[in-house]
Amino acid sequence: MLKRVHFKPSPLPYFLVAPQLLITIVFFLWPASQAIYQSMLVEDAFGLSTEFVWFNNFIELFSDGFYLDTLYRTLFFSAAVTFISLSSALIFAALADRVIGAATTYRTLLIWPYAVAPAVAGALWMFMFDPTIGIVAYFLDLVGYDWNHRVNGSHAMLLVILASSWKQISYNFLFFFAGMQAIPKSLIEAAAIDGAGPARRFWTIIFPLISPVTFFLLVMNIVYAFFDTFGIIHAVTKGGPAKATEILIYKVYNDGFIGLDLGGSAAQSVILMIIVIGLTIVQFRYIERRVEY
Amino acid sequence: MAEVILENITKSFGKTEVVHNVSAHFHDGEFIVIVGPSGCGKSTVLRMIAGLEEVSGGNIKIGDKLVNNLEPKDRRIAMVFQNYALYPHMNVYNNMAYGLRLQKHSKVEIERRVQEAAQLLQLGEYLQRRPRQLSGGQRQRVAMGRALVRKPEVFLFDEPLSNLDAKLRHQMRVELKKMHKNLGTTMIYVTHDQVEAMTLADKIVVVNKGRIEQIGSPDEIYNAPASMFVAGFIGCPPMNFLPAQHSNGGLSLENGFIIPAKDLLIPSDTRQLIVGIRPEKIEFSHLQRESGWLEVDIDFIEKLGSGKLLYTTIGPQQLILSMANGDDRHITRGWIRFPAEALYFFSHQDGSLLKVKSS
């Protein structure tokens, strides 16, 4: 049996994919190759001459203590953001799954943060926690805690983690919720008859069954924490104080556009590119295999 | 083992009441089949017994315990779902052992019970497989096994065979009947299939629009239906219904034919009524007959292998005759007779059975 329809060869398919190809070439392949090329250049301070240095920029990066610090900081930041946003979204979805009455309202409210622009979200959290005028800082002060993310690096880190997680919870919630809704109700009922209470039903039935969603979200959240949190960090702390919240993506910006070390910055962005390619491969390779049931 | 008693059960979703005042007494060890068209509330009744739906009014007792406010797990019931509801991420063994583990049985006891059920249901070699690696019939067995290992006092079945093909359905029906014979546990079985109801049940409950139309043994339901609905729902092909009027010497049908009724006592207090007769009770002859016989055209014939169905019309009413094989001639017309003793009479207004005065 023929598995697909066969047409006569025609140039039409090439015309149809041409716009997509063009976009990929102009907006990805070209800049990416430029970045790779740039990452092997060193420019003098006045921009008068450039020198091709092969992989010297990379070697320099990995022998640079600051860069390695940033790398570890990013790993910590990503792990924290991923954990907080995934676990809270899971709890919200599990609760929403049991809500019958005002389900739509509840869901809509939970989805809203996703529609807020990163910079706006950052500004919002910055105001709430502002040491002089912020409402949260005020309450913390009332209970005797001196909050100041402008001078305290740990405070700053905590703040950007919270802000970044908050932004991502909606997205995770949507996927978790859809995954839970897709589980046949009779499975839950069968477990109830078998004697499982709500908590046990969640951990032995629902959670294993949404594991494909969880895995997908895990990868998506790591990507988010690595790359999409720039706006929030820029609005809240600008990477400070004293680089306490400077993650890899922010360092690319800082070194390239503020420090004007174009070669080093390009080398960093190439490393980030490799990371995201790696995550994508993991996503595609394992998502269908590991989580089968 | 336990009896199940329903006392004036009602169920409302919002303002719409879907189950009205259902009362029934199911004895210990009986095989009860609740049958009715889709949307009649039969599944809702079962789910209320299971504790998956709250009752809006009335009492449910299992054994001598009022279970209205008990969780499903505390009702000592087991349920088999239409879509089997097997846990897809667990193998067959774990599917069956899940409930036992939650009941804190010892490992040895769990192993013993699961093996016992697996042997009974011929699942021994599939214990390590996941549900998706099994055929429909095997999944069905696992669902039964999961109910079996719990050793419940009441089994509940929610249309368990409707996802199987016809042959498998018949096979599982027989196995289910055997299982009931061996266990002797009370079973409550919901279906829309009247064949399953007739073959499985000790007692049939016919439900229509959230009300019980009749409760009785299969024979009672078939031979003495309490209403037009029951008569038309049980039996395949269904009972024929013909509107009729009293007239001199019998019952006159819409086409003017008079069923002679001198010796039979027809309910005399109503002029308008509906006459019912089972397809297999109509007498047929292809030889010309005289008085009392009605000449009809045969529109078409359905061959069933073991017999055949003849379709004809009387006025606007379709009439089905069921016949044994034998005469293979192509029949296009013939003469039919309605034996007086095989007639049922129903009220023209509400379809209830009208009593014949003498009986």
Q: Mean pLDDT of all residues in chain B? A: 85
Answer with the residue of higher pLDDT: A161 or B268: A161
Across chain A, the runs of DSSP E, i.e. the strands, are: 41-43, 50-52
Architecture (CATH level 2) of domain B4-233? 3-Layer(aba) Sandwich (3.40)
Are B102 and A194 inside 8 Å of each other by CB?
A: yes
Q: Which residues of B touch A204 (CB under 8 A)?
A: 98
State both tokens at A80: 């924290």
Q: Which of A192, A200, A204 lies at the smallest CB-CB distance from B72?
A: A192
Are A189 and B85 inside 8 Å of each other by CB?
A: yes
Does position B238 have pLDDT exceeding 70, yes or no? yes
Are A194 and B146 inside 8 Å of each other by CB?
A: yes
Does position A187 have pLDDT exceeding 70, yes or no? yes
Q: Which residues of B touch A189 (CB under 8 A)?
A: 50, 52, 72, 79, 81, 85
By CB atoms closer than 10 A (0-12, 13-18, 19+), residue A142 is exposed
Q: Locate the chain A residue with the closest alpha carbon to B83.
A: A186
Please, which residues have CB within 8 angstroms of residue A17's CB and are 6 or more apart in sequence? Answer: none
Query: Residue length, chain B?
Result: 359
Does position A83 have pLDDT exceeding 90, yes or no? yes
Are A193 and B79 inside 8 Å of each other by CB?
A: yes
Lowest mean pLDDT across A21-30, A58-67, B190-199, B309-318: A58-67
Taking the model in full, what pTM does it have?
A: 0.78
| Most A CBs within 10 Å, among B75, B79, B188, to test the A interface | B79
Residue B268: alpha-carbon gap to chain centroid:
33
Q: Which of B50, B83, B89 lies at the smallest CB-CB distance from A293?
A: B89
Does position A33 have pLDDT exceeding 70, yes or no? yes
State both tokens at A252: 């690319």
Are A193 and B72 inside 8 Å of each other by CB?
A: yes
Q: Locate the chain A residue with the closest alpha carbon to B102.
A: A195
Q: How many CB atoms lie within 10 A of CB A84?
A: 18
- Across residues B128-141, what is the average pLDDT? 87
Q: Which residues of A touch B81 (CB under 8 A)?
A: 186, 189-190
Sign of CA dihedral A47, A50, A55, A59: negative
C-alpha closest to that of B309 among B344, B274, B278: B278
Q: Which of B81, B88, B99 lies at the smallest CB-CB distance from A195?
A: B99
Domain ranges of chain B: 4-233, 240-358
- β-pair type (B240-247, B272-277): antiparallel
* Residues B314-342: tens digit of each pLDDT: 888 888 988 887 766 677 888 888 887 88
**pLDDT on residue B290:** 73
Give the pLDDT band (50/70/90) at residue B262: low
Q: Which residue, chain included where needed, has tokens 């209403």?
A: B227
Q: Which residues of B touch A196 (CB under 8 A)?
A: 73, 98, 102
**pLDDT on residue B151:** 86
- Residue B53, chain A, CB below 8 Å: the answer is no
| Most A CBs within 10 Å, among B74, B75, B81, to test the A interface | B81
Taking the C-alpha atoms of residue A284 and residue B319, their distance in angstroms, rounded to an integer, is 63
**pLDDT on residue B187:** 92
Are A194 and B81 inside 8 Å of each other by CB?
A: no
- Across residues A17-27, what is the average pLDDT? 92
- Across residues A215-227, what is the average pLDDT? 88
Q: Which of residues 232-251 of B touch A (CB under 8 A)?
A: none
Q: Which residues of B touch A193 (CB under 8 A)?
A: 50-52, 72-73, 77-79, 99
Identity of residue B154 = V
Q: Which of A190, A200, A209 lies at the smallest CB-CB distance from B85?
A: A190
In CATH terms, are B4-233 and B240-358 the same topology?
Answer: no
Is residue A163 within 8 Å of A169, Cβ to Cβ? no
* Residues A91-116: tens digit of each pLDDT: 988 888 777 667 778 778 888 888 88
Supply the DSSP symbol for A115: G
**pLDDT on residue B157:** 92
Does position A35 have pLDDT exceeding 50, yes or no? yes
Q: Which residues of A touch B85 (CB under 8 A)?
A: 184, 186-187, 189-190
Residue B314: in which H helix or E strand, if any? strand B307-314
* Residues A229-284: tens digit of each pLDDT: 888 888 888 877 877 888 888 888 887 777 777 777 888 888 888 888 888 888 78
- Residue B18, chain A, CB below 8 Å: the answer is no
Taking the C-alpha atoms of residue B284 and residue B336, their distance in angstroms, rounded to an integer, is 5
Are B73 and A195 inside 8 Å of each other by CB?
A: yes
Domains of chain A: 70-289 (1.10.3720.10)
Give the pLDDT band (50/70/90) at residue B359: very low
Q: How far is A240 from chain B (nearest CA, A)?
A: 47
State both tokens at A106: 């509840």
Answer with the residue of higher pLDDT: A87 or A94: A87
In CATH, what class is B240-358? mainly beta
* Residues B19-65: tens digit of each pLDDT: 888 888 999 889 999 999 888 888 899 999 988 888 888 889 888 88
Q: Locate the chain A residue with the closest alpha carbon to B74.
A: A195
Give the pLDDT band (50/70/90) at residue A228: confident
Answer with the residue of higher pLDDT: B95 or A58: B95
Q: Which of B85, B89, B102 lies at the smallest CB-CB distance from A196?
A: B102
Q: How far is B195 from chain A (nearest CA, A)?
A: 26
| Most A CBs within 10 Å, among B53, B70, B71, B73, to test the A interface | B73
C-alpha closest to that of B315 among B329, B336, B297, B302: B297
